[in-house]
Chains A and B, each alone.
Chain A
Amino acid sequence: MKTTKPLIISLVVILVLLFLSLLVIGRFEISVSDITAMINALFSGKAVTGELVSKQLVFCWIRLPRCLMAILVGMGLSVSGAVYQALFRNPLVSPDILGVAAGCTFGAALGLVLPGDNFSLIYILSLIFGLLAVAMTVGIARLISVKPVIVLVLAGMVILSFFNALLMVLKYFSDPYDELPSIVFWIMGSLSRVTWNDILIIGPVVGVGLIFFLLLRFRLNILSLGDVQSKSLGINPSSFRLILIVTSSFIVALTVATCGQICWIGLIIPHMARTLVGPDHKRMLPVTALLGAIFLLAADGAARSISAAEIPVGIITALTGAPVFAFLLYKNRGSGWV
């Protein structure tokens, strides 16, 4: 308990420093003096001129929203992962397994194929089908409900295959020119399409969700003891589970609808947090959120700056995440949580 506060403070500091430095890193040259000039102009009420105009445009409309989104998505995905792991009492669970991404991809493809010019239709359908995928997975798991977590993983695989197949059918009948956005975007994720509109939607949702989870941090501890214990301690686990799954799935579906599926964050960040401060959600949730933000911010910074070609951020999270996860598994092999 005593070691948490300094850790949280240092994580916040790291996050802020990383954020600030990534504001000046990118394919488009924007230096610190440029940013100061922009801020000065903002305060003095004058408009920027010359070269600064395009720099300001790139900064305000591409770089800044992208960095902010990386923080939001990093926090949202990692905390949702932590909540899933508590609910299903299994550290190998993450929102990815419930087939959210497959549902979102299909929804988006459907939106593109349907006639009409409504761009938000794509977004809405993506969200709906992402949530539908979760609902179907959980529904199937409940129907079978022999060994809950294993059944959940299996049901997730079923739904994933189902939606992928539907997507293939859709492409077969309506995509003769291979126009539908590349599957790579959905499977590997990318923050390259982020706009302020997305932030206006995801920001409040992630914010409210995080606060909600944080408020229930003690209950999460109890839920991870199992249904029998939860009930005898005065908690109704089913209704808690339902509300927590809905909230975290909503966050995840929104994230996937905007940025595609970014793997590994929901799985390894909670583990890293637990390794650092233990499994008590009171300590572990804030650390999870901060670590998730830092990780995705760094990964996206690399994805968009290393080369002229944009690397899907999922590749970076997978390449760094997988070995880190293996290391954590090894390091904690005796503690009895895997």
Chain B
Amino acid sequence: MPVFPDPDAPLLPSSDIVFKEMRYLDKITTSYLQMFMTICGMLLIVTFLPRQGWSETRTLEDMAGRSVTLSGPVERIVTTFKPATLSVFALGLQGKIVGIDSSAKHDRLFKAMLPTVADLPGVGTKSRGINFETLVSLSPDLVILYAQKDGIELAQRLAVMKIPSIIILPESFASVKTSLQIIAQATGVTERATEVSTLMDDILQKIEKKTNRISYDNRKTGYFVSPRGLFSTATGNMLQDDMFNRAGIINVAHDLRGYFQDISPEQFVAWNPDLVILSQHLHQQIVKRLNNPALKMVNAVAQKTVYRFPCDLAPWDFPSPLAVLGTLWLAHKSYPELFQDLDIKKEVDDFHFHLFGKTLSEMHGKLNDRVYW
């Protein structure tokens, strides 16, 4: 087949030849076009592909307002407190952890996902202090710190050693998501972070769709028991208050401000909450204090609507993506009639699967939400 038109052909080609040539041109154009588009597509894909450890310099702002610049891939991560570790696991980056907060080494959730977690070197805990030398000896590419308890000071010292660190402060649903985003930005897994955020929002929406319909007057009242004691409760600033609210429950201690606050037993009786929710880690001995005869008539005690936040693998009442499950569980426990159409167990298993790669049952986790006293 001639590639070029016959020079002896008439100037006005016959429609046959034109069509033939047009078809030919089509073919060439198509094939070039195809090539061009493939190349473009590849470029596009490569540009937008979730890159793990792309060696491009990136600057981000952490939750302490610090500007952190990272160049090169992040292959060695050190976490210094449990929520940070959990975030790293949630982002699927657990394989890059080279140093971990000591309290997380025996954590059942982490062990279920990464059995070798117990062999990782522990760098200390945020409450009792981080061993700076151990930390530095691990040659991390990224250290994740907590905003309080001299986190900023630690970050400065690490900067001197040319070790980048980011400070996060997961305390509310929003800041949990932001923390995930920041870690994701630093490690190049932003899509994953968005995924987790979406997962969280989905669950919250499912809950609020139903609970938003409950009028204020019909809402039940609830009282949260912090791990510190029966009469230590969560104030209006805290995550648990937000969880209560989204689950359609009024936190009786909503007007208090600050961290966990002690209240007098009389105040507890005066509030007369319909529900009493214990933190997963409240010691059983303290639970026995519910036997005090003075508390007999409190709604929650009398009706035995006293529960523990799940679960035995990881607490759902602490700032982490799992808090949305805590909210779901809470809403379900408080208004079971509203959630009959939702298979809570499935939601929980699905969430765990999407977050950690295994369902709760696969990790042998139990809700552990019954309370005996």
Report A-B touching, CB under 8 Å. Answer: yes
In the complex, are the beta carbons of B269 and A54 less than 8 A apart? yes
Q: Does B255 contact A (CB under 8 A)?
A: yes
In the complex, are the beta carbons of A26 and B294 less than 8 A apart? no
List of B residues within 8 angstroms of A29 by Cβ? 270
List of B residues within 8 angstroms of A276 by Cβ? none
Q: Does A310 contact B (CB under 8 A)?
A: yes
Question: Least Cβ distance of A276 to chain B in Å?
Answer: 32
Contacts A28-B269, A57-B294 given; does A181 touch B262 at CB 8 Å: no
Contacts A179-B227, A181-B229 given; does A27 touch B270 at CB 8 Å: yes
List of A residues within 8 angstroms of B128 by Cβ? 168, 171-172
Interchain CA distance A176-B285 in the complex, whole Å = 17
In the complex, are the beta carbons of B293 and A28 less than 8 A apart? no
Q: Does B296 contact A (CB under 8 A)?
A: yes
List of A residues within 8 angstroms of B227 by Cβ? 177-179
Interchain CA distance A26-B256 in the complex, whole Å = 17
Question: Least Cβ distance of B317 to chain A in Å?
Answer: 12
List of B residues within 8 angstroms of A178 by Cβ? 127, 227-228, 281
List of A residues within 8 angstroms of B228 by Cβ? 178, 181-182
Interface residues of A in 58-76 (CB under 8 A from B): 58, 60-63
| Interface size, A (range) | 35 or more
Question: Least Cβ distance of B133 to chain A in Å?
Answer: 18
Interchain CA distance A192-B232 in the complex, whole Å = 11
In the complex, are the beta carbons of B282 and A179 less than 8 A apart? yes
In the complex, are the beta carbons of A27 and B264 less than 8 A apart? yes
In the complex, are the beta carbons of B266 and A309 less than 8 A apart? no
Q: Which of B261, B295, B297 contacts A53 (CB 8 A)?
A: B297
Q: Does A271 contact B (CB under 8 A)?
A: no
Question: Least Cβ distance of B326 to chain A in Å?
Answer: 16
Q: Which of B106, B281, B294 contacts A62 (CB 8 A)?
A: B294
Q: Does A77 contact B (CB under 8 A)?
A: no
Contacts A178-B127, A182-B228, A310-B231 given; does A58 touch B262 at CB 8 Å: no
Q: Which of A58, A172, A184, A190 contacts B266 (CB 8 A)?
A: A58
Interchain CA distance A29-B261 in the complex, whole Å = 22
Q: Mark A151-182, 1 if CB is under 8 A from B, else 0.
A: 00000000000000000100110001111011
Q: Chain A residue with minimal CB distance to B229? A: A181
List of A residues within 8 angstroms of B284 by Cβ? 117
In the complex, are the beta carbons of B262 and A190 less than 8 A apart? yes
Question: Least Cβ distance of B91 to chain A in Å?
Answer: 23
Q: Mark A109-135, 1 if CB is under 8 A from B, else 0.
A: 000100001010010000000000000
Contacts A27-B264, A310-B267 given; does A57 touch B282 at CB 8 Å: no
In the complex, are the beta carbons of A62 and B265 less than 8 A apart? yes
Q: Does B149 contact A (CB under 8 A)?
A: no
Interface residues of B in 285-344 (CB under 8 A from A): 285-286, 288-289, 292-297
Q: Mark A96-120, 1 if CB is under 8 A from B, else 0.
A: 0000000000000000100001010
In the complex, are the beta carbons of A57 and B296 less than 8 A apart? yes
Q: Does A193 contact B (CB under 8 A)?
A: yes
Question: Least Cβ distance of B86 to chain A in Å?
Answer: 14
Q: Does B103 contact A (CB under 8 A)?
A: yes
Contacts A27-B270, A61-B294, A172-B128 given; does A177 touch B281 at CB 8 Å: yes
Interchain CA distance A177-B286 in the complex, whole Å = 15
In the complex, are the beta carbons of B283 and A61 less than 8 A apart? no
Q: Does A312 contact B (CB under 8 A)?
A: yes
Q: Does B253 contact A (CB under 8 A)?
A: yes
List of B residues within 8 angstroms of A184 by Cβ? 262
Interchain CA distance A122-B286 in the complex, whole Å = 11
Q: Does B22 contact A (CB under 8 A)?
A: no
Contacts A27-B267, A28-B269 given; does A308 touch B256 at CB 8 Å: yes
List of A residues within 8 angstroms of B267 by Cβ? 27-28, 308, 310
Q: Does B25 contact A (CB under 8 A)?
A: no
Pairs A–B under 8 Å by Cβ, sample size 24: A26-B264, A54-B272, A54-B297, A57-B269, A58-B269, A61-B292, A62-B269, A112-B285, A119-B288, A122-B285, A168-B128, A172-B128, A178-B228, A179-B282, A179-B283, A181-B286, A185-B229, A193-B289, A303-B264, A304-B266, A308-B253, A308-B255, A308-B267, A309-B261
The 5 closest A-B pairs by CB, nearest first: A61-B294, A177-B281, A27-B267, A54-B297, A304-B264
Known: A28-B266, A119-B288, A182-B228. 5 other contacts (CB 8 A): A28-B269, A54-B297, A182-B229, A192-B265, A195-B292
Residues of B within 8 A of A (CB): 103, 106, 127-128, 227-229, 231-232, 253, 255-256, 261-267, 269-270, 272, 281-286, 288-289, 292-297
